């Protein structure tokens, strides 16, 4: 199993290029990020080339977080802003050599206009991404942490994939969010495997390192390997030790050892 460091939460005391280097030194196989736009794309590309790590994904800009925005792409009154941010994300990803763009829906009333807007913007995103050999991801996010988020379950994500009907669109399955919203992770992932573009992990509760809490991740990683999942597992968690990523990295070697020996507890 290959693991990716999400640099939105890990090694955040460093610049993004230095965080890439730290992830390489820590033994990760890849990286991903949230919002890299303040980093000159040439600097990020240089760090990726230097380390040989692929960067799997970035997010579209979420909007005004202070005003409660958490994505723009399902907001009918922000359609132009959403498409500008999709274009910016696709252009940045292509220039940096990043594989995919996660298109953030945002908080909505859950109505038909919001759904139609999200589908239309995803079609726009898929066309833009395909032109640059990129993928597009959508992520169901739990409504405990983000009340009102437009997309919060995998059934809804499947309906969106059907509506958009584009080969470049896949689901980002975050085990943290989906354990909160629906549980039954192994069965859900196995059923959805052809539609999944990336999987992420974190502990529940607390969203810390994945070696604690209610999910037996070593067992789940073994089950995923047996199911044929050959993608990366994104470590998108918040370090428990006051943001000290290095202090909590023991799980990485432990998970690899458990998978190698077949330990499932």
Q: What mean pLDDT value characterizes the chain?
A: 96
85 noted as active-site residue: no
Q: Are 94 and 131 in contact (CB under 8 A)?
A: no
Q: Identify the structural domains of the chain with CATH numbers, from first to last.
A: 2-261 (3.20.20.150)
Catalytic pick among 139, 190, 209, 214:
139
Q: Is 133 exposed, middle or buried (0-12, 13-18, 19+ CB in 10 A)?
A: exposed
In tens, the pLDDT along 185-221 reads: 999 999 999 999 999 999 999 999 999 999 999 999 9
Percent of the chain with pLDDT over 90: 96
pLDDT band with cut points at 50, 70 and 90 for residue 265:
very low
Q: What is the mean pLDDT of residues 239-259?
A: 93
Q: What is the 3-state secondary structure (H, E, C) of the chain?
A: CEEEEECCCCCCCCCHHHHHHHHHHHCCCEEECCCCCCCCHHHHHHHHHHHCCCEEEEECCCCCHHHCCCECCCCHHHHHHHHHHHHHHHHHHHHHCEEEEECCECECCCCHHHHHHHHHHHHHHHHHHHCCCCEEEECCCCCCCCCCECCCCHHHHHHHHHHHCCCCEEEEEEHHHHHHHCCCHHHHHHHHHHHEEEEEECCCCCCCCCCCCCCCHHHHHHHHHHHCCCCEEEECCCCCCCCCCHHHCHHHHHHHHHHHHCCCC
Q: Kindly list the distances between the CA atom of residue 173 and the CA atoms of 117, 129, 180, 236, in Å, as whole numbers in the listed order.
A: 22, 20, 12, 12
> Would you say 158 and 192 are in contact if contact means Cβ atoms under 8 Å apart?
yes
* pLDDT of 262 strictly over 70: no
pLDDT average, residue stretch 120-124: 98
Looking at residue 263, what is its pLDDT?
A: 56
Task: List the one residue out of 93, 92, 67 whose CA is nearest residue 78.
Answer: 67
pLDDT tens, 85-116? Answer: 999 999 999 999 999 999 999 999 999 999 99
Q: 236 an active-site residue?
A: yes
Distances (CA, A) of 125 to 60, 77, 80, 111, 149: 10, 18, 13, 21, 19
* Region 63-82 average pLDDT: 97
Tokens of 196: 């999944």
What's the pLDDT score for residue 261? 76
């Amino acid at each position: 199993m290959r693991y990716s460091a999400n640099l939105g939460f890990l090694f955040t005391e460093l610049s993004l290029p230095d965080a890439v280097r730290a992830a390489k030194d820590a033994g990760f196989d890849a990286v991903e990020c949230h919002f890299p736009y303040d980093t000159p794309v040439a600097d990020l590309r240089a760090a990726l080339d230097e380390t040989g790590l692929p960067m799997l994904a970035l997010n579209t800009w979420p909007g005004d977080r202070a005003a409660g925005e958490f994505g723009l792409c399902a907001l009918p009154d922000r359609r132009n802003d959403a498409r500008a941010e999709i274009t910016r994300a696709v252009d940045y990803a292509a220039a940096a050599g990043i594989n995919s763009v996660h298109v953030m829906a945002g908080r909505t009333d859950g109505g038909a206009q919001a759904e139609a807007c999200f589908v239309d913007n995803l079609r726009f995103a898929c066309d833009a991404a395909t032109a640059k050999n990129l993928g597009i991801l959508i992520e169901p996010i739990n409504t405990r942490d983000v009340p009102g988020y437009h997309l919060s379950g995998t059934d809804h994500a499947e309906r969106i994939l059907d509506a958009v009907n584009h080969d470049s669109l896949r689901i980002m399955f975050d085990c943290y969010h989906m354990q909160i919203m629906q549980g039954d992770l192994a069965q859900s992932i196995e059923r959805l495997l052809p539609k999944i573009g990336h999987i992420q992990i974190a502990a529940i509760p607390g969203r810390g390192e994945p070696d604690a809490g209610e999910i037996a991740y070593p067992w789940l990683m073994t089950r995923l390997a047996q199911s044929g999942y050959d993608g990366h597992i994104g470590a998108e968690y918040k370090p428990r030790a006051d943001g000290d990523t290095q202090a909590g990295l023991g799980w990485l070697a432990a998970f690899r050892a458990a998978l190698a020996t077949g330990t499932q507890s």
